[in-house]
Structure 1
Amino acid sequence: MNIENCTCVFKILPGTQRFTSENFLAIARNGINTEYNPKRFHAIIMRIRHANYKTTAALIFQSSKVVLTGVPRPEFALRMAWKVTRSIQKSYSAAKCKEVWAISVRCLKVTNIVGSFRCNNKLSIEQIYRHLKIQNKLKKMNKQIFYEPTIFPALRFKMMEEGYKAVSILIYISGRVIMTGLTSEKQLNNLFYNFLIPLINKFPRL
């Protein structure tokens, strides 16, 4: 299972402090690779380029909350958060704002990991669908299962078990599998090796 990207959130200012309107505009005006159009979206968008020509986008809100999207892996979250924070510190310094000392990375949390996997063979998702429905009826599993091939080409199901309630899985006939809603690599690996691999190995498309 490959990790495609992650979403993270953190706070810039302590407690319930917010950016003043002047300081918030200073970030937009003096920041590198930033854009701010309050008529379209009420957050500053900052783009951070890194290896392999990929980009992480930071959505900076006046509440001092920051949402990072496109983080390559969970272990990169802190590095990306500090890149944003240092850029904001430089914007503060350029605008001669006095509260530079208050800017830091606080309460950093990974909120979503997207993982993908491709089987060597095609999958019989009709059989997987029937199997999961039967397991649900027998109460051996607890999942919301959807398969409407005329509407969407993949089998979709949401995990309802404790600790995995935000996780959704897509399984395509081609053998491609996508998982979203995970919050740690441990959670991803546990679900992948203990549930997903045994499931898809049972139902190859012959």
Structure 2
Amino acid sequence: MELPEIKIVNVVGSCDLKTPMNLEEIYPLIENAEYDPERYHCIYIRTPGIKRLVTIFKSGKLNTAGSKSIEEAKSAVLDVVNKLTELGFTDKKPEVKIYNLVANMGLKKEFDLEELSEHFGAEYEPEQFPGAVLKIENPKATFLIFKSGKIVINGVKSNEELENAVKWILEKLKS
């Protein structure tokens, strides 16, 4: 089965240095960092021209969002960890865990969302949201299906889960 073009639009991940971080000390030493303790309790690091964000919390946890691939998300976090190591704030080399991939694809057909919700048990409340919401357990994924044929997939944690979710929905929509 040939898959349609699948575009990853957001990858969310994190790691835990298990070391408290002194944000006031770290902030001035990190390029492209934002820190306003009265507004938020973390340092935001944005790379100019890229819609990716890495956050550092006092607890030593780092989060990332906005990457377009798993590799990019892991690299973004590890670049910050390496900078913290270089500055003497940690000596840990944590594993970056991926918690969510968001992807979309377009099928060249329109859907009757009422029929789809009846047939698959998807939630469809057009007064509240213009798409049908279909959740599955294996692989664990959520699909937002729109009349136009656009489908947003989220909740998967790997490229393999994403591919399996896409195969699953295409097979169901064929029948």
The count of residues paired between Structure 1 and Structure 2 equals: 170
Contact 1:11 1:105 (8 Å CA) reproduced: no
Residue 42 of structure 1 corresponds to: 41
Contact 2:42 2:55 (8 Å CA) reproduced: yes
* Structural mapping, 1:96-107, within 5 Å: 100=88, 102-107=90-95
How far apart are the structure 2 equivalents of 1:83 and 1:62? 18
Task: Tell me if 1:112 matches 2:114.
Answer: no
How far apart are the structure 2 equivalents of 1:154 and 1:78? 31
Contact 1:7 1:68 (8 Å CA) reproduced: yes
Task: Tell me if 1:197 matches 2:148.
Answer: no
Residue 59 of structure 1 corresponds to: 55
Contact 1:116 1:178 (8 Å CA) reproduced: yes
Task: Tell me if 1:180 matches 2:154.
Answer: yes
Paired amino acid for 1:32: E
* Structural mapping, 1:1-206, within 5 Å: 1-12=6-17, 16-19=18-21, 23-49=22-48, 53-89=49-85, 92=87, 100=88, 102-133=90-121, 145-159=122-136, 161=137, 164=140, 167-193=141-167, 195-202=168-175
How far apart are the structure 1 equivalents of 2:139 and 2:25? 41
- Residues 34-54 of structure 1 show CA distances to partners (whole Å, capped at 9, x for unaligned) of 1111111111111124xxx32
- How far has the Cα of 1:55 moved from its partner? 2.8
Unaligned ranges ≥5, structure 2: 1-5
Query: What's the TM-score, normalizing by structure 2?
Result: 0.88
Root-mean-square deviation over aligned CA pairs: 1.9
Residue 96 of structure 1 corresponds to: none
How far apart are the structure 2 equivalents of 1:73 and 1:153? 27
- How far has the Cα of 1:128 moved from its partner? 1.1
Unaligned ranges ≥5, structure 1: 93-99, 134-144
Report which of the two has the higher share of helix.
1
- Which aligned runs of 4 or more in structure 1 are off by greater than 4 angstroms? none
Greater Rg by CA = 1
